[in-house]
């Protein structure tokens, strides 16, 4: 049996720190994508006998390969401690004790003690990888706890009820968790019959949504939309457009039907594709004109549909997301296998501008839009320090400890995305300003690419 201990000092009262852990979403927030993913959190959280199911990343895979893990909670003592034990997983045994103590100065000492044993015959393998993996995981958990508590302390909002479309996606799942651990109630719009009081059934394709289900909702967050990955066939284009525009119109129609009971705000996703795939090296802002390619036209129609909610007196914010950095999906996940094999490099000429953002920050910006009553209109969700494609490849190679010398052949993106898709996505040249987000009070967790990649890949 091996024992691992981690201690974190948090400048917040015990009841606040324990309360954060005891709310829905805490496990999701404490599981970085490079370490695995949460399949199902216990309900209610942490209570004796409840179970959580995860996928734990194989060491060194950054979440690209994983194994199932089920944990059962026990030893729940409010504002003091809780425990979980592995009932299914790759180890012989695992027991994790979480303890919370007053530090005597109004803060909290969080002590995590893990006792584990590897399977017979794998002791050396288990100890070798577990020690370093646990150290990195708990460093990441400590930072997430501290930054999330700091984030919520900056907002004086009363507890809100927030309805979220696309809540099962990469951004939506983390946003729902960030809001719920902050004490807000999150309702998920699902495309099937609702199974719990926390779900609302809707179907954008058939136009089905009972407006009454949104009564009592303070803010609607609209993240739904078909992935733009893959070839842009005529059918794919239609699905990409309709999944965004029809769904948004359906929400706006439901909001209008509620009259005085309408939600106070609609926060709707958009993308920097609004500006077109080539900004010609110039920095564009929220006041810049839209582009005229396929994705730009989709974004314009998407945003126009959302803005119609203003007629109901609803505050509208459209969040134009940049290239989100996470091994859970998107561009970074697609490039990881090549870089891990030592075959990574720049896409295209390497001189094109890439306006990126960490997963933590795009989630934080959506939450900021929810919790900031004075924020209206479009806001760019990009980090304040864009980079060229060549700089991006070098930064990723450096973080992974791999070379970044082999440029991806021009036909590579075209094979996956087609000619149009490659130009609009993989080879896009977009230099986008983050000034409005900063001016409206958002504080970036990862303003530079190096810190973002280290956090998202657990390489710190």
DSSP string spanning 355-390?
-EEEHHHHHHHHHHHHH-TT--EEEEE--SS-EEHH
The percentage of the chain sitting over the pLDDT mark of 90, rounded to a whole number, equals 86
Per-residue pLDDT of 152-173, as tens digits, reads 999 977 999 999 999 999 999 9
Q: What is the mean pLDDT of residues 240-244?
A: 95
For the chain, the structural domain boundaries read 2-153, 161-457
Of the candidates 60, 37, 76, 20, the one whose C-alpha atom is nearest the C-alpha of residue 400 is 60
Q: Kindly report the average pLDDT of the chain as a whole number.
A: 94
- Assess whether pLDDT exceeds 50 at residue 449: yes
- Assess whether pLDDT exceeds 70 at residue 123: no
Kindly report the CA angle at 283 between 279 and 288, in degrees rounded to 5? Answer: 75
The answer to whether 176 and 186 are in contact (CB under 8 A) is yes
Q: How far apart are CA 251 and CA 269, in angstroms?
A: 13
Helix, coil or strand: residue 117: strand
This prediction's pTM = 0.95
Q: What is the mean pLDDT of residues 371-376?
A: 97
Of the candidates 193, 197, 192, 253, the one whose C-alpha atom is nearest the C-alpha of residue 222 is 253
The percentage of the chain sitting over the pLDDT mark of 70, rounded to a whole number, equals 97
Of the candidates 252, 259, 224, 250, the one whose C-alpha atom is nearest the C-alpha of residue 239 is 224
Per-residue pLDDT of 11-65, as tens digits, reads 999 999 999 999 999 999 999 999 999 999 999 999 999 999 999 999 889 999 9
Give the model's pLDDT for residue 60: 86
Give the model's pLDDT for residue 119: 82
- Assess whether pLDDT exceeds 80 at residue 249: yes
Helix, coil or strand: residue 107: coil
Q: What are 336-341's contacts with CB under 8 Å, separation 24+?
A: 336/62, 336/64, 337/64, 338/408, 339/396, 339/397, 339/400, 339/402, 339/404, 340/62, 340/400, 340/402
More confident residue, 413 or 92: 92
Q: How far apart are CA 400 and CA 453, in angstroms?
A: 9
Of 3.30.530.20, 3.30.9.10, 3.30.70.1230, 2.40.10.220, the CATH number of 2-153 is: 3.30.530.20
Pairing of strands 353-354, 315-321: unpaired
Q: How far apart are CA 245 and CA 187, in angstroms?
A: 21
* Angstrom distances, CA of residue 107 to CA of 10, 22, 419: 6, 18, 56
Per-residue pLDDT of 183-222, as tens digits, reads 999 999 999 999 999 999 999 999 999 999 999 999 999 9
The answer to whether 415 and 230 are in contact (CB under 8 A) is no
Give the model's pLDDT for residue 74: 97
Of 3.40.470.10, 3.40.50.720, 1.10.274.10, 2.60.40.3080, the CATH number of 161-457 is: 3.40.50.720
Of the candidates 3, 17, 297, 292, the one whose C-alpha atom is nearest the C-alpha of residue 150 is 17
Give the model's pLDDT for residue 125: 47
Give the model's pLDDT for residue 416: 65
Beta carbons within 8 Å of 416's beta carbon, 6+ residues apart? 230, 231, 422, 426
């Amino acid at each position: 049996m091996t024992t691992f201990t981690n201690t974190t000092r948090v400048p917040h009262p015990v009841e606040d720190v324990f309360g954060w852990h005891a709310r829905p979403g805490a496990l999701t927030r404490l599981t970085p994508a490079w370490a695995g993913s949460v399949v199902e959190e216990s309900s209610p959280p942490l209570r004796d006998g409840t179970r959580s199911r995860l996928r734990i990343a194989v060491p060194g895979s950054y979440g690209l390969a994983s194994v199932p893990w089920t944990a059962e909670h026990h030893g729940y003592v409010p504002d003091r401690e809780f425990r979980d034990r592995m009932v299914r997983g790759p180890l012989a045994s695992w027991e994790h004790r979480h303890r919370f103590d007053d530090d005597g100065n109004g803060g909290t000492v969080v002590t995590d003690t893990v006792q584990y044993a590897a399977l017979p015959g794998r002791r050396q393998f288990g100890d070798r990888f577990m020690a370093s993996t646990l150290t990195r995981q708990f460093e990441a958990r400590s930072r997430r706890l501290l930054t999330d508590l700091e984030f919520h302390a900056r907002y004086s909002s009363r507890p809100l009820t927030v309805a979220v479309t696309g809540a099962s996606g990469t951004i939506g799942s983390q946003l729902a968790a960030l809001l719920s651990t902050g004490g807000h109630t999150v309702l998920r719009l699902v495309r099937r019959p609702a199974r719990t009081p926390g779900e609302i059934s809707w179907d954008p394709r058939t136009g089905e949504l009972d407006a009454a289900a949104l009564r009592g909702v303070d803010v609607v967050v609209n993240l739904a939309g078909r992935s733009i990955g893959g070839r842009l066939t005529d059918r794919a284009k239609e699905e990409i457009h309709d999944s965004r525009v029809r769904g948004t119109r359906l929400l706006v129609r439901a909001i209008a039907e509620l009259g005085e009971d309408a939600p106070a705000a609609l926060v709707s996703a958009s993308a920097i594709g609004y500006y077109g795939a080539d900004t010609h090296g110039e920095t564009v802002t929220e006041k810049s004109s839209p582009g005229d390619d396929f994705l730009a036209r989709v974004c314009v129609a998407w945003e126009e549909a959302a803005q119609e909610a203003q007629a109901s007196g609803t505050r509208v914010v459209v969040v134009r997301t940049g290239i989100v950095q996470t091994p859970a999906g998107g561009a970074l996940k697609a490039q990881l296998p090549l870089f891990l094999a030592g075959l990574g490099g720049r896409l295209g000429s390497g001189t094109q501008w890439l306006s990126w953002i960490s997963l933590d920050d795009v989630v934080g910006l959506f939450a900021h839009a929810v919790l900031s009553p004075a924020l209206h209109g479009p806001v760019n969700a990009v980090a304040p320090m864009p980079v060229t494609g060549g700089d991006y490849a070098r930064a990723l190679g450096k973080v992974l400890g791999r070379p970044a010398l082999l440029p991806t052949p021009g036909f590579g993106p075209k094979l996956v995305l087609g000619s149009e898709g490659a130009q609009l996505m993989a080879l896009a040249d977009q230099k986008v300003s983050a000034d409005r987000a900063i001016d409206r009070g958002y504080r970036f967790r990862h303003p530079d690419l190096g810190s973002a990649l280290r956090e998202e890949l657990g390489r710190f």
